[in-house]
């Protein structure tokens, strides 16, 4: 449906303001998040050019009709995009149109119409997390003989104990630690630059004190985890931290068969959350630990029990029947089982 508007809003002007001002400044999103939204809009523009023969200079908000967005979803399917990715791209379009409708009331109709496009049904997969033996093997994969190994061991301990995202861990500074408090904690900077305080276990605090004595003897403000380049500390990248974990998993796998083939930082984060969940920690606390803005994100992630957990619960609840084989052979039992009465 083509809406008759008093004035024609400039699509490109609003798109640039959305990506360069609103997203990074107003919403305070990271460069990585902004780039993801930008790529989603670029994908839609590619669709318009390929399927609707609409060159960039011809694009207006009329190209964001419900019909076109529905066709876009079909086009993404032909490109072998999975439902989760399709939904993320649809969310990006809705977010952009929501911003535009707030800037120009006459665009509200287009935004409302696109909101009626249904998301794709995503297949729910069991949560991937590490078993206790695998977790222990990975955390102890590095010995303490070399400086680099001691640093890597501290990285893995913090990754698991805080349940942090890999970017949050990479962004830690000396000032992020609050070890002198009655209840020690670390301040993580999460999505949208929002901070949260995560408590630290006493054993983790002991590890950190030793780490700080060796790696930060001057106690000057700088990245918590770093590598030296020309004698100066440089913050470890997320790729470097991921490689630390991958190497640890490869080593641990030689000693522990429970270590899966593809261990990544987000799996460690899910493992921490699942360990808390299995030990009876309420979802609101896990939500706060993970830095989820919405309870639905946390509950949708952890609120269904794994087969292992259900099997364990059912085994505990089942009555113990002695000598089952003899029981099945009793005449009175067979009479009940094989009778229409």
Q: ∠ CA 89-38-164 to the nearest 5 degrees?
A: 75
Residue 202 has pLDDT above 80, yes or no: yes
Domain assignment present for 108: yes
* pLDDT the model gives residue 230: 86
* 197, burial (CB in 10 Å: exposed 0-12, middle 13-18, buried 19+): middle
169 and 292 inside one domain: yes
Mean pLDDT of 64-81: 95
* pLDDT the model gives residue 341: 46
Q: What's the rounded Cα separation, in Å, for the pair 235 and 208? A: 17
Residue 10 has pLDDT above 50, yes or no: yes
Domain that residue 199 falls in:
132-313
Domain containing residue 166: CATH number = 1.10.443.10
Q: How large is the C-alpha radius of gyration of the chain?
A: 27
* pLDDT the model gives residue 155: 97
- Residue-wise pLDDT for 126-142, tens only, equals 668 899 999 999 999 99
Question: 88, 114, 140: which is the final residue of a domain?
Answer: 114
Domain assignment present for 325: no
Handedness of CA 269, 274, 275, 279 (dihedral sign): positive
Counted domains in the chain: 2
Residue 286 has pLDDT above 90, yes or no: no
Beta bridge partners of 228: 233
Q: Are 110 and 65 in contact (CB under 8 A)?
A: yes
Question: Which phi and psi (to 5°) does residue 255 adopt?
Answer: -110, -25
* pLDDT the model gives residue 6: 44
Domain assignment present for 1: no
Give the DSSP letter of residue 183.
S
Give me the numbers of helices (H) and strands (E) for the chain, helices first please.
Answer: 16, 5
Question: 85, 114, 143: which is the final residue of a domain?
Answer: 114
Mean pLDDT of 159-183: 94
Compute the mean pLDDT over every residue in the chain, rounded to the nearest whole number: 85
* pLDDT the model gives residue 313: 55
Q: What's the rounded Cα separation, in Å, for the pair 212 and 158? A: 13
Domain assignment present for 176: yes
- Residue-wise pLDDT for 98-129, tens only, equals 999 999 999 999 999 999 999 998 877 666 88
90 and 169 inside one domain: no
183 and 284 inside one domain: yes
């Amino acid at each position: 449906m083509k809406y008759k508007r008093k004035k024609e809003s400039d699509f490109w002007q609003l798109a640039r303001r959305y990506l360069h001002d609103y997203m990074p400044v107003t919403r305070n999103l990271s460069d990585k998040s902004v780039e993801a939204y930008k790529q989603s809009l670029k994908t839609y523009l590619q669709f318009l050019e390929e399927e609707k023969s609409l060159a960039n200079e011809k694009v207006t908000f009329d190209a964001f009709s419900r019909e076109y967005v529905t066709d876009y979803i079909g086009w993404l399917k032909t490109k072998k995009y999975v439902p989760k990715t399709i939904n993320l791209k649809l969310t990006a379009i809705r977010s952009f149109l929501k911003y535009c409708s707030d800037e120009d009331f006459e665009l509200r109709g287009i935004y409302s119409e696109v909101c009626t496009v249904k998301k794709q049904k995503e297949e729910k997969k069991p949560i991937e997390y590490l078993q206790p033996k695998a977790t222990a093997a990975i955390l102890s994969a590095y010995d303490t003989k070399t400086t680099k190994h001691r640093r890597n061991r501290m990285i893995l301990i913090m990754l698991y104990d805080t349940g942090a995202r890999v970017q949050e861990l990479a962004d830690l500074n000396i000032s992020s630690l609050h070890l002198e408090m009655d209840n020690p904690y670390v301040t993580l900077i999460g999505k949208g630059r929002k901070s949260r305080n995560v408590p630290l276990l006493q054993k983790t605090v002991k590890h950190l004190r030793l780490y700080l004595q060796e790696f930060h003897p001057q106690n000057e403000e700088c990245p918590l985890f770093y590598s030296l380049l020309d004698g100066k500390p440089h913050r470890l990248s997320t790729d470097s931290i991921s490689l630390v974990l991958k190497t640890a998993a490869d080593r641990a796998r030689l000693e522990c068969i429970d270590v899966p083939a593809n261990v990544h930082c987000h799996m460690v984060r899910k493992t921490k959350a699942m360990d808390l969940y299995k030990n009876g920690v309420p979802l609101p606390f896990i939500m706060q630990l993970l830095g989820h803005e919405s309870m639905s994100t946390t509950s949708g992630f952890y609120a269904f029990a794994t087969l292992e957990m259900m099997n364990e619960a059912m085994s505990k609840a089942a009555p113990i029947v002695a000598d089952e084989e003899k029981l099945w052979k009793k005449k009175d039992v067979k009479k009940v089982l094989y009778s229409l009465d």
